[in-house]
Amino acid sequence: MNQNAMKDGPIRFGCRFHDNSTGAAPKTRHMVAVDRNGRTVAVGDRVRVLDVSPDADLDEDDLEMIVFMIGSECEVDRIDRLGLAWVSMWWHCGDGTALTAVGLHGHQFERLDAAV
């Protein structure tokens, strides 16, 4: 990643996960995850990323983007069969845009209350 990629910071929104074969969003609305406080979280809920578990073989640039997600507020894109809540961030890079997505265990995020 070029040095200016982090200059403006991330775009603070995620993208929805879509099944590329049909173009339709997956039927995962019934799936929920549980945050560090025991609160249920569903697709579309906003969460704060508290920790990440990056792969040991990530290059320095990818690792920097993953770690930068700590403290960010993101929308849950999907919840997988293991109960991981997946969130993503878009980045402005010198070469265009980049997407970083992570699957979070319950102790790694907390659900944010909806604005009233």
Confidence of residue 98 (pLDDT cuts 50, 70, 90): confident
The answer to the question of residue 86 being in a domain is yes
Note the pLDDT of residue 11.
34
Q: What is the length of the chain?
A: 116
The answer to the question of residue 105 being in a domain is yes
**CA-closest candidate to residue 65, choices 89, 97, 46:** 89
Query: What is the residue range of 30's domain?
Result: 11-111
Backbone dihedral angles phi then psi of residue 57, each to the nearest 5 degrees = -95, 10
**CA-closest candidate to residue 83, choices 109, 64, 115, 48:** 109
Both structure tokens of 26 = 């997956």
The answer to the question of residue 5 being in a domain is no
The answer to the question of residue 4 being in a domain is no
Note the pLDDT of residue 36.
97
